[in-house]
Amino acid sequence: MSQNTVASYCSDVEKFLTAYGGRPENAGPADIEDYLATRSQLSERSLARLVSSLRSFFDWMVKEGYITDSPCDRVEAPKLGVYLPSVLSEDEVDSIIRCVDTSSWMGKRDRAILEVLYGCGLRVSEASGLKISSVFFEHGFIRIIGKGNKERLVPIGEMAMEALKAYMEDRPVPAAKADDLVFLNRFGKSISRISLFKIVKKYTLAAGIMKEISPHTFRHSFATHLIEHGADLRGVQEMLGHENIATTEIYTHVDSSSWQKEIIDHHPRK
């Protein structure tokens, strides 16, 4: 799993153990359920992840011989429906990117970040950690090391390539150990994931778009627009780095919801 996923699971387990206060091998189903009741303000998706974190931990305890049965075996996780991610329209993506003032190197960097997030469908950690040695302009693709340390090759379109080249011409002198990193902060160090969130938020507001947008929204939009334009689902799966095609199929639901709404909006007996 990715470092972020591992950190989240560990945090979930630590919080439970702190709240429980006893030895983990003594925890029973009632203790798990009591703790979940104290976290009822969480969304169903967050509660499901919390149960998954605890289940993984107690399954490990069973495997290692600390306990004979997992207290999570009798705890039900919330039932989740089909999750449809928020996406931007093509016009909204264009209006966000056009808001960037590229008269400075930071503006050129921000433009390149947005173009790469949308043009290549990268995760935020993949964009912030993108390396110069992984960008192959002459062949038109970038190499990404994604979740589980798995490598994939992603085509890079003309607009994203032009934005990257323009930024690289004005890229500042990197700090120590940042020579091979594409996107730098003002101190010449690796740009953080938080900074990417702020950049996306800044230009989304500048474009007058009130949706709740994150860097991942550009990834969702990338996949949805590809499928809307007839891209092969397996190809989109490869570009996103999804291990299971079922994860990619969610974007067919997003596409369906858009044309269903369009039909209803235009139906004479809506």
Provide the annotated active-site residues.
123, 147, 216, 219, 242, 251
**Distances 182 to 159, 190, 193, 264 between C-alpha atoms, Å:** 17, 8, 14, 45
151 DSSP 8-state letter: E
- Bridge partners of 190, per DSSP, are 184
Contact 54, 72 (CB under 8 A): yes
- Residue 138, Cβ density class (10 Å: 0-12 exposed, 13-18 middle, ≥19 buried): exposed
Q: Is 42 exposed, middle or buried (0-12, 13-18, 19+ CB in 10 A)?
A: middle
Structure tokens at 22: 């006893």
Cβ-Cβ contacts under 8 Å for 150 (sequence gap 6 or more) = 241, 243
Tokens of 143: 């190499």
Q: Are 186 and 106 in contact (CB under 8 A)?
A: yes
- Residue 182's DSSP bridge partners are none
Scan for tokens 């302009």, then name that residue: 137
